[in-house]
Amino acid sequence: MSGTVTTIVFFARTRAFFAAHGIMRLHGVILVNGANQRATNFTRTAEALASKHQRIRVYTPRQNGKVERFDRLLVDEVFCTRSYAGKLARRTAVGVSVN
């Protein structure tokens, strides 16, 4: 698969994960300026599944810091609030399927 297709598939799976947990509407998506996220196909997909597709400005640590902090918050709140016997137990508890 090409990088853009992989990114689109990942985004669609992420959207399905949120929907499975009752989050039916995404108000926006904030992404880095990687080639995959700038591709026209990905932009169309993101705008179809979320109301707003926003890119982080190049060389703007303040915006990138927001994304990094949100990622850290997810890890702390979802994965670190309880202990798991291993990766499989954590994936099962959270309901994440990783290929």
pLDDT tens per residue across span 9-32: 888 898 899 899 998 888 877 777
Give pTM, 2 decimals.
0.54
* Domain range summary for the chain, segments of one domain joined by +: 1-55, 58-99
Q: What DSSP state is assigned to residue 58?
A: T
All residues at 6 or more sequence positions from 50 whose CB lies less than 8 Å from its CB, including other chains: 15, 26, 27, 28, 29
Residues 55-74: tens digit of each pLDDT: 777 766 676 777 778 778 87
